[in-house]
A and B are shown apart, each in its own frame.
Chain A
Amino acid sequence: MLVFNQLETYLYLALLLFAIGLYGVLARRSLIAILISVELILNAASLNFMAFNRFLAPHPAVGQVITLFIMAVAAAEAAIALSIIVAVYRKLKSINIEHATELRG
């Protein structure tokens, strides 16, 4: 199908993913939900890289390498973020971001 063979389609999809992820990061109160939203943002970026690689880049490997890096970083990030969430839970008995107020100025 023609629509799947176009750069714009993938860019809009990535934009949609990014917007959803941003909304989730800003609006959700649960740390887990925020973490999932961050993953969405990362995936949007990966999708952009793959799309540009597929349609514009002369060498096919460049964008894929970056995407693999992003996946690795996302895995590490998820591990660290989950451990932070566990620590926050131990301290506050809650993973609601609104309860983490110790740094109020």
Chain B
Amino acid sequence: MGACDPNFLSCFLIVALPLLSFAVIMIFTWRRHKLSLAISLTCSTIPLILAWSLFFRLKDAVTMAKPIVTQVNWLVSDAVIVPFGFLLDPVSLLMLAIVATISWLIQVYSIGYMEGDPGFARFYADLSLFGMSMLSLVSASGMLQLFISWELVGLASYLLIGFWYEKFSASEAGKKAFVVTRFGDIGFFMGLVFLTFFLKDINIFGLGIFDINNAALTKKLTEAQVTLCALLIFCGVAGKSAQFPIHVWLPDAMEGPTPVSALLHSATMVAAGIYLITRLFPLFAASATAMSVVLAISTITLLLSSTIGMVAKDIKQVWAYSTVSQLGFMAMGLSAAALGGSTLFAGYYHLTTHAAFKALLFLCAGVFIHHFGTNDFFVMSKDGGRKLAIPMITVTIGALALAGIFPFSGFFSKEAILGQLWHLPNKMWVGLALFGAFLTAYYTFRVIFVMLLPRKDDDPIWKEYYVREEGGHGHGAHDDAHGGGHDEHHGVPWVMSFPLIVLAGFTLVLGFMQAPLEKFLLGESHPHDLNYLLLFLAVGCALGGIGVAWLDWGRSGAKWQGFIRKFPALETFFIQKWYMDHFWRWFLNTFIYGTFSRIFTYNDRRVVDGGVDAVAFSTIGSGRLLSFIQTAFVQLNLLFMVLVLAGVGLYLLMGR
């Protein structure tokens, strides 16, 4: 349990090394790109090895009920002890390994992607910070530590989304991501405060995750208290994991470099929210009301983002909306499991598979963007995107997984979630989820078919779709050099294709790991009675989505118009992203700027500034008043002095 515990040391190194690398690069080596790269890679390779060795060493030793908690006292002040430590249970062990792996792969990939960027060293420093904060979030033993890491994740994503800060839209997007997620974090923090308020014997510094779950399991909290806390904490989850209605930051976050998007969308930022639900699953599961709200919100999120994904023309936007929808899917799975008295396995499993295939999809998109200097997949298609063999194959694998086609990992995890939803008494949820799966398959394969089966160069259809924006969208000056020479197809550098192959491997393998993973997470593997009807429905929806995509975009006579074109009003609605950005703009203008800001400005001007001014003016005024006794008659002053002294003397003599 002490600082010399090998588990503690490994965890500490996993967290501390990337932080060290961040500090060293930012302070000392930010001018020297190669050296910074070496430091950052070293400081992410060691955690990778340590995380996997921890995983294999402890995988039989820990269960959800009996985790290893190893902590030291970080700050001690009288009765207040702030512990710093790590909670190792199956959930955190697996997540540690995944986060370490994906951030390592992305660091490798970025060698190629960010080559020649003036901020190369800064990029690696920020990536290290991102990795560190996520690793610390995953393994934190206490809620305070988790919250600090949670905010660090937010900070790192702000830095990385706004990485190309010279671009106004990028710095705006970073700001938006930070502010919107902060908005949710207020709820999260209030939830923690309420929790400590209800659990009287624990203060907020010592609030351990294990304690909370035990309290929820042993009914130390009433139903209403759990509901309040769970809903408040879900606010934070909604902010981080981009759930309706505060998902608006995630699509804008595409302004960052593509490796960042890959990291943000798979294993770090957005996964943090879902991970928090799995972490506090017993607490969430203790309140049916809260879980119903979560189920409803995540369903709305799923449908909203799938429909927007259908009309986006930017490949990163499509993947971004698919992330939002898959996160909604995970939250649905978790809440349905909680309502149905089942386990967190389905949602968590989808989190792991999604981490692999979404990182894959983004990294593939990154290769195309790097190569063609554009984000528009129609342009990539015309410029010969399919000639890049490795990324094209791997992106198709990722897309098949995303759509949920056998034997790719997405199929198994989606199947598990749908199974949870199927058990709910109300069949509406599973219906909506299936509809979401259909839309997901449709918009995914819209991209794949367009990229894979481009029209002939002289086809008039290009007039609508081939719009080459000068300067591109979402990448810096270094891409323009590549963008200019897109006719000569120099190959993809191996540092970029290697992570793709690894991730594609994960995508293929993870699906068949369902039973061992379930045994690892839950202690036992439930024999699955195959629900053939559901299986048929799920595969049918996925294949149906692909089929419709084939009719609309794939076959040789396809009109290259989505079926949604038949409903122009609806299409506009989707293109305008359900007017959510407009709504928030209006909301901010009316309520925040129009009401609160005005009150606060008034308060600032009249009360705060006024108070300071009043003090200053009264000092000047009283000085002016008192200056009248400076008559320049020294003897008058002396007389006053003598009289006062005499008065004091008399008082001392007589007053006794």
Query: Using a CB–CB distance below 8 Å, which chain A residues touch chain B?
Result: 22, 25-27, 97-98, 100-105
27 A–B contacts from the bound complex (CB under 8 Å): A22-B642, A25-B635, A25-B638, A26-B635, A26-B638, A26-B639, A26-B642, A27-B635, A97-B634, A97-B635, A98-B633, A100-B632, A100-B634, A101-B632, A102-B632, A103-B630, A103-B632, A104-B630, A104-B631, A104-B632, A105-B626, A105-B627, A105-B628, A105-B629, A105-B630, A105-B631, A105-B632
**A104 / chain B contacts, CB cutoff of 8 Å:** 630-632
**A97 / chain B contacts, CB cutoff of 8 Å:** 634-635
Query: Shortest Cβ distance from A8 into chain B, in angstroms?
Result: 17
Q: Of residues 619 to 653 in B, which have CB atoms within 8 Å of A's CB atoms?
A: 626-635, 638-639, 642
Query: Using a CB–CB distance below 8 Å, which chain B residues touch chain A?
Result: 626-635, 638-639, 642
**B629 / chain A contacts, CB cutoff of 8 Å:** 105
Task: Give Cα distance in the complex from A32 to B61, angstroms.
Answer: 100
**A102 / chain B contacts, CB cutoff of 8 Å:** 632
Which of B632, B639, B642 has the most A CB atoms < 10 Å from its CB? B632
> B634 — nearest CB in chain A belongs to which residue?
A97
Query: Shortest Cβ distance from A34 into chain B, in angstroms?
Result: 8
Main secondary structure of the interface of B (DSSP, over half): helix
Query: Shortest Cβ distance from A26 into chain B, in angstroms?
Result: 5
**B634 / chain A contacts, CB cutoff of 8 Å:** 97, 100
Closest 3 CB pairs of A and B: A105-B630, A105-B627, A101-B632
Task: Give Cα distance in the complex from A98 to B634, angstroms.
Answer: 8
**B638 / chain A contacts, CB cutoff of 8 Å:** 25-26
> A31 — nearest CB in chain B belongs to which residue?
B634
**A25 / chain B contacts, CB cutoff of 8 Å:** 635, 638
Query: Shortest Cβ distance from B632 into chain A, in angstroms?
Result: 4
Query: Shortest Cβ distance from B500 into chain A, in angstroms?
Result: 84
**B631 / chain A contacts, CB cutoff of 8 Å:** 104-105
Task: Give Cα distance in the complex from A104 to B639, angstroms.
Answer: 17
> A29 — nearest CB in chain B belongs to which residue?
B635
Task: Give Cα distance in the complex from A26 to B638, angstroms.
Answer: 7
Given A97-B635, A102-B632, 17 further pairs, Cβ under 8 A: A25-B635, A26-B635, A26-B638, A27-B635, A97-B634, A100-B632, A100-B634, A101-B632, A103-B630, A103-B632, A104-B630, A104-B631, A104-B632, A105-B626, A105-B627, A105-B628, A105-B631
Task: Give Cα distance in the complex from A22 to B642, angstroms.
Answer: 9
**B633 / chain A contacts, CB cutoff of 8 Å:** 98
**B639 / chain A contacts, CB cutoff of 8 Å:** 26
Query: Shortest Cβ distance from B630 into chain A, in angstroms?
Result: 3
**B635 / chain A contacts, CB cutoff of 8 Å:** 25-27, 97
Query: Shortest Cβ distance from B526 into chain A, in angstroms?
Result: 92
Task: Give Cα distance in the complex from A8 to B630, angstroms.
Answer: 40
Which of B628, B635, B639, B642 has the most A CB atoms < 10 Å from its CB? B635
> B639 — nearest CB in chain A belongs to which residue?
A26
Task: Give Cα distance in the complex from A104 to B634, angstroms.
Answer: 10
Task: Give Cα distance in the complex from A100 to B630, angstroms.
Answer: 12
**B632 / chain A contacts, CB cutoff of 8 Å:** 100-105
Task: Give Cα distance in the complex from A105 to B623, angstroms.
Answer: 10
Task: Give Cα distance in the complex from A38 to B629, angstroms.
Answer: 24
> A102 — nearest CB in chain B belongs to which residue?
B632
Query: Shortest Cβ distance from A42 into chain B, in angstroms?
Result: 15
**A103 / chain B contacts, CB cutoff of 8 Å:** 630, 632
Task: Give Cα distance in the complex from A25 to B633, angstroms.
Answer: 12
Task: Give Cα distance in the complex from A103 to B637, angstroms.
Answer: 12
> A34 — nearest CB in chain B belongs to which residue?
B635
Query: Shortest Cβ distance from B30 into chain A, in angstroms?
Result: 59
Which of B630, B631, B634, B639 has the most A CB atoms < 10 Å from its CB? B634
> A25 — nearest CB in chain B belongs to which residue?
B638
> B631 — nearest CB in chain A belongs to which residue?
A104
Task: Give Cα distance in the complex from A101 to B635, angstroms.
Answer: 12
Query: Shortest Cβ distance from B181 into chain A, in angstroms?
Result: 60
Task: Give Cα distance in the complex from A25 to B637, angstroms.
Answer: 11
> B629 — nearest CB in chain A belongs to which residue?
A105
Query: Shortest Cβ distance from A44 into chain B, in angstroms?
Result: 14
> B642 — nearest CB in chain A belongs to which residue?
A22
Task: Give Cα distance in the complex from A27 to B636, angstroms.
Answer: 9
Task: Give Cα distance in the complex from A27 to B639, angstroms.
Answer: 10
**A101 / chain B contacts, CB cutoff of 8 Å:** 632
Query: Shortest Cβ distance from A99 into chain B, in angstroms?
Result: 10
Task: Give Cα distance in the complex from A104 to B630, angstroms.
Answer: 5
> B624 — nearest CB in chain A belongs to which residue?
A105
Task: Give Cα distance in the complex from A38 to B639, angstroms.
Answer: 14
Task: Give Cα distance in the complex from A27 to B632, angstroms.
Answer: 15
Task: Give Cα distance in the complex from A22 to B645, angstroms.
Answer: 13
Task: Give Cα distance in the complex from A81 to B41, angstroms.
Answer: 80
**B627 / chain A contacts, CB cutoff of 8 Å:** 105
**B642 / chain A contacts, CB cutoff of 8 Å:** 22, 26
**A27 / chain B contacts, CB cutoff of 8 Å:** 635
Query: Shortest Cβ distance from A104 into chain B, in angstroms?
Result: 4
**B628 / chain A contacts, CB cutoff of 8 Å:** 105
Query: Shortest Cβ distance from B250 into chain A, in angstroms?
Result: 67
Task: Give Cα distance in the complex from A26 to B639, angstroms.
Answer: 6
**A105 / chain B contacts, CB cutoff of 8 Å:** 626-632
> A27 — nearest CB in chain B belongs to which residue?
B635
Query: Shortest Cβ distance from A78 into chain B, in angstroms?
Result: 18
Task: Give Cα distance in the complex from A102 to B630, angstroms.
Answer: 10
Query: Shortest Cβ distance from B636 into chain A, in angstroms?
Result: 9
Query: Shortest Cβ distance from A79 into chain B, in angstroms?
Result: 20
**A98 / chain B contacts, CB cutoff of 8 Å:** 633
Task: Give Cα distance in the complex from A40 to B215, angstroms.
Answer: 87
Query: Shortest Cβ distance from A33 into chain B, in angstroms?
Result: 11
Query: Shortest Cβ distance from B487 into chain A, in angstroms?
Result: 87
Task: Give Cα distance in the complex from A4 to B427, angstroms.
Answer: 122
Which of A26, A100, A102, A105 has the most B CB atoms < 10 Å from its CB? A105
**A22 / chain B contacts, CB cutoff of 8 Å:** 642
Query: Shortest Cβ distance from A105 into chain B, in angstroms?
Result: 3
> B636 — nearest CB in chain A belongs to which residue?
A26
